[in-house]
Amino acid sequence: MTQAALSVEGLRMRYGSTDVLHGPTFRVQPGEVVALLGPNGAGKTTTVEILEGFRMRSAGRVQVLGADPAHADERWRARVGVMLQSWRDHGKWRVRELLAHQASYYACCARVPWEPDELIDAVGLAGQADQKITTLSGGQRRRMDVALGIVGRPDVLFLDEPTTGFDPQARREFHELVRRLDATILLTTHDLDEAEKLADRIVILNRGRIVADGTPHELARQITGEDRVQWRRGEQRFTRSTRQSTDFVRRLFQQHGEEISELEVHRASLEQTYLALVHEAEDPR
């Protein structure tokens, strides 16, 4: 069995007398994209910071690329990319020179980083390559954050709210870039549409506990059970609930062909599923 790229078992975090994490356990396989969702205060950022090696856990077992992040060395760090929610940037640096400077750190660890101009093009900053970072707009600075996170071509990439401040075009371009990356990715986001588009799997965290883990489709089935198909045939309208909507629609057209009109298939959105799962965890009655 392939070793997991990320493995979390019984993770616990306590601040004073307050427990923030209550034993979440999950694994992320190599090449998998997993979205960690949850309301504010659920423990998402704390979990990610422990996996990044920036925060010491109170208890539990954690491995990233086969090593404990709390004790990993520089070679391990060179294989890990991080995009933080915010950071104190180097405002006087120009975009190209900062990326070239960061890329130079990977020479010691047998890594082949992105070539700066290629990376600048990939994140959509070609027009700002010679600008000082202080002159970038909010969306451009987030693109710079992406570039700094992936400059070393990481094997594992952590993305914490990656598209905050992006306009729709920038968000679409970012999604296309993520799909091209050859990396295992764990991302946190409040954009449920983004999670559904990018993630192979979704883990929902609430009050420090995992309340759901599965593909978007699996989670929707967990709550709604069935799809709803609606259609018109002649003057009559029909509605049918089914677990196999694709097969049902195929049979419907085989039987009635061009008589079918106004066909609609309704599946529960990830947003509906997410809200239902969080509500269920907070009020188990």
3-state secondary structure 107-121: HHHCCCCCCHHHHHH
Same domain? 158 vs 233:
no
Domain boundary among 158, 181, 214: 214
Q: What is the pLDDT of residue 223?
A: 60
- Flag whether 1 is in a domain: no
| SS3 label, residue 104 | helix
> Would 219 be classed as within a structural domain?
no
pLDDT at 1: 43
- In terms of residues, how long is the chain? 285
**Vertex 121 angle, CA 117 and 123, to 5°:** 120
Q: Are residues 65 and 200 in the same domain?
A: yes
Q: How far apart are the C-alpha atoms of 226 and 212, rounded to whole Å?
A: 18
DSSP at 83: E
Q: Sign of dihedral through CA atoms 104, 106, 111, 116?
A: negative
Provide the domain limits for residue 237.
224-282
- Tokens 């925060």 locate to 55
178 assigned to some structural domain: yes
Helix (H, G, I), strand (E, B) or coil at 132: strand
Question: Do the beta carbons of residue 47 and residue 23 sit within 8 Å?
Answer: no
Type and span of the H or E element at 133: none
- Concatenate the DSSP letters of all residues of 146-204 into one string: HHHHHTT--SEEEEESTTTT--HHHHHHHHHHHHH--SEEEEE-S-HHHHHHH-SEEEE
Distance CA 210, CA 16 (A): 22
Does residue 254 fall inside a structural domain? Answer: yes
pLDDT in tens, the chain (285 residues): 468 999 999 999 999 989 999 999 999 999 999 999 988 888 999 999 999 999 999 999 999 999 999 999 988 999 999 987 666 667 789 999 999 999 998 877 778 899 999 999 988 899 999 999 999 888 888 889 889 999 999 999 999 888 877 788 888 888 888 888 889 999 998 888 888 889 999 999 988 999 889 988 787 666 655 678 999 999 899 998 887 788 899 999 999 988 999 999 877 666 767 776 676 656 544
Same domain? For 236 and 194 the reply is no
Q: Do 41 and 108 fall within a single domain?
A: yes
**Statement to judge: residues 180 and 238 lie in one domain:** no
- Name the nearest CA neighbour of 186 among 155, 141, 143: 155
Q: Please state the pTM of the whole predicted model.
A: 0.79
* CATH (domain of 129): 3.40.50.300
Residues 154 and 58 in one domain: yes
Q: What is the pLDDT of residue 32?
A: 96
Structure tokens given for 123: 């994140």
Are residues 114 and 60 part of one domain?
yes
Q: Which residues pair with 82 in a beta bridge?
A: 158
The verdict on 153 and 243 lying in the same domain is no
Separation of CA 40 from chain center: 16
Assess whether 23 and 143 both reside in one domain.
yes
Residues 201 and 238 placed together within one structural domain of the fold: no
Please state the domain count of the chain.
2
Buried b (16+ CB within 10 A) or exposed e, 6-33: bbbeebbbeeeeeebbbebebbbbeebb
Instruction: Give the other-Cβ count within 10 Å of 268's Cβ.
Output: 20
Q: What residue type is assigned to position 239 of the chain?
A: T
Picking from 179, 214, 249, the residue at the C-terminal end of a domain is 214
Is residue 235 one of the residues assigned to a domain? yes
| Residues 115, 72 share a domain | yes
Q: Is residue 241 part of a domain?
A: yes
* Domain stops at, among 185, 214, 243: 214
Give, to the nearest 10 degrees, the angle between helix 138-150 and helix 95-104.
20
